[in-house]
Amino acid sequence: KFSYAHRLGFGSGNPTGKIPLGLKRKGLRIVVTGGAGFVGSHLVDRLIARGDSVIVVDNFFTGRKENVMHHFGNPNFELIRHDVVEPLLLEVDQIYHLACPASPVHYKFNPVKTIKTNVVGTLNMLGLAKRVGARFLLTSTSEVYGDPLQHPQKETYWGNVNPIGVRSCYDEGKRTAETLTMDYHRGAGVEVRIARIFNTYGPRMCIDDGRVVSNFVAQALRKEPLTVYGDGKQTRSFQYVSDLVEGLMRLMEGEHVGPFNLGNPGEFTMLELAEVVQETIDPNAKIEFRPNTEDDPHKRKPDISRAKELLGWQPKVSLRKGLPLMVSDFRQRIFGDHKVGST
Ligand code: NAD
Ligand code: UDP
Ligand code: UDP
């Protein structure tokens, strides 16, 4: 809609619409909020590799500089320490809006801040998208389905969410973020995309973020028992991070608003997951049962027909293939380089 020169304010004095010399660039200018986090940093790697210019906006609540440090010094990469709850002026073509803690342990730590990040943070990034005519992608979550009464979950399902529970800051926050996204689309003509992401794992996850895959892998490596919450019969579907990043980029570049479920339909009980971790790391790892957390969804599995049909996307990496890739990263971070490759 707008040329980059227009966005920088050069448009009005330049009736030819030509980009002034020195401002020509290859690729797009893209902001990734939450780009120093787990998913964001893998997305940044792909965008930089494609030749785009990437601005990461992150307050480092759960993200780490180490996740993006390999891009320092690259003129196509910028890192801004900024909290999306505060307004931000930038000139960009696309906004991938990921900023938000994703692990229950992190998002429950300061629930009001989680809501502010989801609501005010998303509002600000939509305001930015509106101002500069950028395309905006929201990373929503399978948690919008709550403790689902439909299985597997289709995008048409409205969900079963407790509005006053300990998970609500995240679930309801993301639901409101989806609402805001659709209202900016309908009301202000902002080009938007919505992804509903299902449990994702891979290298660079926070080691102690409390999510089940990172917990089990770290526990098995440290020779601690795997902590299974409740009876371990609840299910989740685990997606490897490279599959998710591919889906997010296809969604952004495609013509469809969504929402789209992005997840791996392979469904595992937590006990089955523990078995896969045992097979991969340590067959002698013990299992220890712990009381479950409040409002824990009993099952979760995406119906991905819509993404298959409209984005031509489906996950490629099975849990048994993806887990070892994460294990080598965790081993390196827990024990240091000298243990890499050893078991
Ligand atoms: P993460 O915690 O590793 O990354 C989130 C990033 O956002 C971090 O770098 C953090 O510092 C940053 N951040 C948090 N609050 C911020 C704020 N107010 N201002 C600026 N930066 C802020 O989590 P992730 O797994 O990479 O998740 C990324 C996105 O994907 C999140 O929006 C999450 O809700 C969504 N998602 C992830 C999963 C998953 O399984 N990983 C599942 C569903 C949805
Ligand atoms: N905003 C921002 N960057 C921008 C444009 C807007 O952070 O480049 C913020 C702005 O401060 C406001 C929010 O986005 O809080 C919504 O902006 P919008 O213009 O939609 O609404 P208004 O400012 O009229 O309330
Ligand atoms: N869980 C578990 N042991 C752990 C951490 C989590 O059994 O050490 C269970 C948790 O009760 C839930 C599932 O694993 O049923 C997934 O939890 P996670 O926090 O990874 O993500 P969620 O899907 O709940 O957001």
pLDDT per position as a tens digit, 124-173: 999 999 999 999 999 999 999 999 999 999 999 999 999 999 999 999 99
Which atom of ligand 1 lies nearest, measured to the CA of 140?
44
- What pLDDT band is residue 7 in, cutting at 50, 70 and 90? low
234 lines ligand 3 (CB under 6 A): yes
User: CA-to-CA distance for 86 and 79, rounded, in angstroms?
Assistant: 16
245 lines ligand 2 (CB under 6 A): no
Give residue 13's pLDDT. Answer: 53
The residues annotated with a catalytic role in the active site are 170
229 lines ligand 3 (CB under 6 A): yes
User: CA-to-CA distance for 26 and 28, rounded, in angstroms?
Assistant: 7
Concatenated DSSP letters for 92-161? -SEEEE--S--SHHHHHHSHHHHHHIIIIIHHHHHHHHHHHT-EEEEEEEGGGGBS-SSSSBPTT---B-
| Mean pLDDT value across residues 213-239 | 96
Quick one: which ligand is closest to 180's CA?
2
Three-state DSSP at 36 gives: coil
199 lines ligand 1 (CB under 6 A): yes
Quick one: which ligand is closest to 114's CA?
1
Which atom of ligand 1 lies nearest, measured to the CA of 37?
9
Ligand 3: residue of 196, 211, 215, 300 to mutate (most ligand atoms within 8 A of CB) is 211
117 lines ligand 1 (CB under 6 A): yes
E strand segments, 142-270: 192-197, 200-201, 226-229, 235-237, 239-240, 260-262, 267-269
Ligand 2: residue of 57, 92, 126, 131 to mutate (most ligand atoms within 8 A of CB) is 131
- 182 C-alpha vs ligand 2 centroid, how far in Å? 16
Please tell me the pTM assigned to this model: 0.93
- What pLDDT band is residue 297 in, cutting at 50, 70 and 90? confident
ipTM over 0.90: yes
Q: How many CB atoms lie within 10 A of CB 130?
A: 15
Hey, what are 208's tokens? 């102690």
Quick one: which ligand is closest to 66's CA?
1
User: CA-to-CA distance for 210 and 214, rounded, in angstroms?
Assistant: 7
